[in-house]
């Protein structure tokens, strides 16, 4: 997952939590400060993280369904 520990810069009004965020990628490592800095979370970071979590849940559910059906497929081949 692309979620990272919160960081901010003095040059922006928000803190970042996702390394896929385009705004976050423009911040030089020298300018990054650890934490939230009393700022609000970047909307792009929030959206990216929420989308990634939703995708991970969907993938996990798909794997669960496949694993539940695999024994049925195996027994069908034997019979």
Domain ranges of the chain: 3-73
Q: Residue 17 pLDDT > 70, yes or no?
A: yes
Q: What is the mean pLDDT of the chain?
A: 86
Q: Cα–Cα distance between 70 and 75 in angstroms, integer? A: 9
Q: What is the pTM of this model?
A: 0.71
Q: What are the backbone dihedrals phi and psi of residue 49, each rounded to the nearest 5 degrees, phi first?
A: -65, -45
Distance of CA 66 to the CA centre of its chain: 24
Residue 48: band (very low, low, confident or very high) from pLDDT cuts 50, 70, 90: very high
Q: How far is the C-alpha of 23 from the C-alpha of 7, rounded, in Å?
A: 12
CA distance 2 to 34: 17
């Amino acid at each position: 997952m692309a979620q990272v520990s919160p960081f901010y810069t003095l040059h922006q009004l928000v803190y970042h939590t996702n390394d896929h965020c385009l705004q976050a990628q423009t911040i030089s490592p020298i300018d990054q400060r650890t934490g939230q800095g009393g700022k609000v979370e970047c909307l792009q970071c929030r959206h990216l993280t929420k989308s990634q979590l939703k995708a991970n849940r969907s993938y996990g559910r798909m794997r669960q369904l496949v694993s539940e059906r695999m024994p049925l497929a195996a027994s069908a081949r034997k019979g």
